[in-house]
């Protein structure tokens, strides 16, 4: 099964057990009430050139409509050469955050109300440092790394 392979890969990358990874992900699934989310992906945009990479928060939406509405309100589609949505599992989102040090948090967005342009929506925030700490503890976890 593909997810078992991904769980093993993540556990190996982080030096933790598959059981610990499963426990963290299951706690998130229970709190969020879903396993798959939509991310508005901007391909080809961004500053070319170097310099310090800025810290980012990856926004994950329950529905494609919510992701697109947020992108349109914030005029993200106009800045991109090829905007698109990607549907990712919690496991894939956590992997992306841990593999890319510039992503310091995941924000699983509440879809109930539209957020004014320029503001981050409300939701469940999962910090990279919190996940890494839980993996380092390598023990049963009763709650996800939320702030």
* Least trusted range by pLDDT, from 6-10, 26-30, 51-55, 106-110: 51-55
Task: Say if residue 47's pLDDT is above 50.
Answer: no
Q: Tell me what pLDDT residue 80 has.
A: 52
* Least trusted range by pLDDT, from 16-20, 83-87, 94-98, 137-141: 137-141
**Rounded Cα–Cα distance for residues 25 and 130 (Å):** 13
pTM of the model: 0.80
Q: Where are the domains of the chain?
A: 2-44+54-137
The more confidently predicted of residues 78 and 147 is: 78
């Amino acid at each position: 099964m593909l997810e078992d392979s991904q769980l093993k890969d993540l556990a190996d990358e982080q030096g933790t057990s598959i059981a610990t990874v499963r426990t963290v992900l299951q706690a998130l699934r229970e709190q969020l009430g879903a396993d798959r989310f939509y991310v508005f992906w901007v391909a080809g945009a961004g500053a070319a050139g170097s310099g310090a990479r800025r810290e980012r928060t990856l926004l994950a939406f329950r529905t494609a409509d919510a992701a697109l509405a947020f992108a349109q309100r914030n005029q993200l589609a106009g800045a991109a050469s090829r905007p698109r949505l990607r549907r990712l599992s919690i496991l894939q989102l956590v992997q992306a955050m841990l593999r890319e040090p510039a992503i310091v948090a995941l924000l699983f967005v509440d879809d109930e109300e539209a957020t004014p342009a320029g503001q981050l929506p409300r939701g469940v925030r999962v910090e990279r440092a919190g996940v890494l700490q839980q993996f380092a503890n390598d023990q049963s976890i009763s709650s996800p790394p939320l702030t």
